[in-house]
């Protein structure tokens, strides 16, 4: 089989690494580790943006990479640490009962989800000039695994991290398919994400203050 060029191989490798980090978030028991993985994943988005900018000659992407790094690698973990503090502190144990399936089973189930997403998005026949199609398929797999993360984990912080990584997956898809989106719109998306992070953190804090834990096992009052 012919090999992809170095550029395509690199872009796909970075995307695959992001997908693996997504699975890492699925397995991690501690929220602070999940936040670190999220920072790593966001850093990889910036790296990919720089690679695409360098090879495909889109100087706007440099600015986007820098802004994205500032907001998502530094800003979001900082906001989470400030607003959440104790619930995700250094010596907080993992949330008991946080896994509905065990880590191994969750990974295997998510592999199924990822496969579904991968082939759904990959077989659409969408060819982008900026990045290889496999990266779009990997982004699709990441979207499904992020949903899986929100489903199988039963504590609010993991669910929030699942949503943030969903946004990362969509950013990856945007890099592949919409690399030319005007910078002002991309900036607006990033600031909007930061606003969402603040609101999520406030709600998590309220939940933690009320229930003294991050678990959602008791959120069963409203039914029918």
Partner 1 sequence: MLGIILALLIIPLAAGIACFWSPARAAAGITIGSGITCFCLVIALIPEVAHGTLNYLSYLRADAVSGIFLLATAFLYAAVAVYAAGYLQHHDARYARRFYLGFNVFAWAMLAAPLMGSLALLWIAVEVTTVVSALLVAIENTDGAAEAAWKYVLIASAGLGLGLLATIFAYYAGAQVLGAHSNLTIQPLLSAGPRLPKTPVELAFLLAVLGYGTKVGLVPVHTWLPDAHSEAPTPVSALLSGALLATSFYAILRFYQVATAALGTGLPRDTLLAFGIASLLLASLYVFGQRDIKRLLAYSSVEHMGILAIGVSFGAPVALAGVLLHVMAHAAAKGNAFMGAGVFTVKYGTKQMSAMRDGLRLLPWSGPLFLLAILALSAFPPSGIFRSEFQIVAGGLSSGSDAAAAVLVILVTLAFFGLAAAATAMVLTSPPREGATLEAQALGVETATIGGAHADGAAVAVKSRPHAARPLTRGEPSAFMVVPVLAGLAVLVLLGVHPPGELTDLITRGAAQLGTP
Partner 2 sequence: MSAAVPIPVIQLLQVLTVALGAPGVMGVIATVEARLQGRRGPRLLQPYYDLAKLCRKEALAPSGASWFFLAAPLVAVTAYLTIPLLIPVLTTYGLPLGYMGDILGGGFLLSLASFVVATAALATGSPYAQLGSSRAKTFSAIAEPVVLFVVFTVALLTGTDLPYALAATVRSSAGQVIRPAHLLASAALFMVILHETGRIPVETHTGTNEFGMIEEARSFEHSGPYFALLKWGSMLKQLILFTILANVFLAPWGLASTQRLGAVLLAIVALLAKAAAIGVAVAVIDNSFAKLRLFKITEYVSAAFLLAVTGVFTLYLGGG
Taking Cα atoms as reference points, which of 63, 45, 60 lies closest to residue 168?
45
The residue (of 14 and 61) whose beta carbon lies closer to partner 1 is 61
Residue 16, contacted partner among partner 2, partner 1, none, CB below 5-8 A by kind:
partner 2
The residues pairing with 155 across neighbouring beta strands, listed in sequence order, are 215
Q: Which of 69, 73, 84, 114 binds partner 2 (CB under 8 A)?
A: 114
Instruction: Answer for the pair 136, 171: CB distance below 8 angstroms, yes or no.
Output: no
| Residue 133 in contact with partner 2, rule: CB under 8 A | yes
Instruction: Answer for the pair 148, 106: CB distance below 8 angstroms, yes or no.
Output: yes
Q: Which of 33, 36, 83, 103 binds partner 2 (CB under 8 A)?
A: 103
Q: Which of 159, 161, 212, 217 binds partner 1 (CB under 8 A)?
A: 159
What are the tokens at 127?
Answer: 């060819």
The residue (of 132 and 162) whose beta carbon lies closer to partner 2 is 132
| Residue 170 in contact with partner 1, rule: CB under 8 A | yes
Residue 35, CA distances (Å) to 47, 55, 118, 154, 177 in order: 18, 30, 25, 16, 27
| Residue 119 in contact with partner 1, rule: CB under 8 A | no
Shortest distance in whole angstroms from residue 201 CB to partner 2: 29
Q: Which of 114, 163, 201, 215 binds partner 1 (CB under 8 A)?
A: 163
SS (H, E, C) 144-178: HHHHHHHHHECEHHHHHHHHHHHHHHHHHHHHHHC
Q: Which of 21, 51, 107, 157 binds partner 2 (CB under 8 A)?
A: 107
The residue (of 49 and 145) whose beta carbon lies closer to partner 2 is 145
Calpha distance 55→50 (Å, rounded): 9
Selected range binding partner 2 among 45-53, 66-74, 119-127, 202-210, rule: CB under 8 A: 119-127
């Amino acid at each position: 089989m012919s090999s992809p060029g170095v550029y395509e191989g690199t872009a796909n490798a970075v995307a695959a690494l992001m997908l693996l980090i997504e699975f890492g978030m699925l397995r991690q028991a501690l929220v602070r580790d999940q936040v670190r993985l999220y920072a790593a994943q966001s850093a990889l988005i910036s790296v990919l943006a720089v690679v695409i900018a360098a090879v495909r000659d889109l100087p706007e992407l440099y600015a986007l990479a820098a802004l994205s790094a500032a907001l998502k690698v530094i800003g979001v973990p900082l906001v989470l640490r400030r607003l959440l503090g104790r619930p995700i502190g250094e010596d907080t144990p993992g949330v008991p009962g946080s896994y509905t399936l065990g880590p191994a089973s969750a990974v295997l189930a998510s592999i199924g989800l990822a496969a579904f997403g991968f082939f759904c998005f990959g077989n659409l026949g969408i060819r982008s000039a900026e990045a290889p199609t496999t990266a779009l398929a990997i982004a699709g797999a990441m979207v499904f695994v992020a949903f899986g993360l929100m489903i199988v984990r039963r504590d609010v912080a993991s669910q929030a991290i699942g949503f943030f990584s969903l946004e990362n997956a969509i950013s990856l898809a945007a890099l592949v398919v919409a690399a030319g989106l005007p910078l002002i719109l991309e900036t607006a998306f990033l600031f909007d994400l930061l606003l969402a992070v603040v609101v999520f953190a406030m709600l998590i804090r309220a939940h933690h203050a009320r229930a003294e834990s991050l678990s959602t096992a008791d959120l069963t009052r409203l039914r029918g």
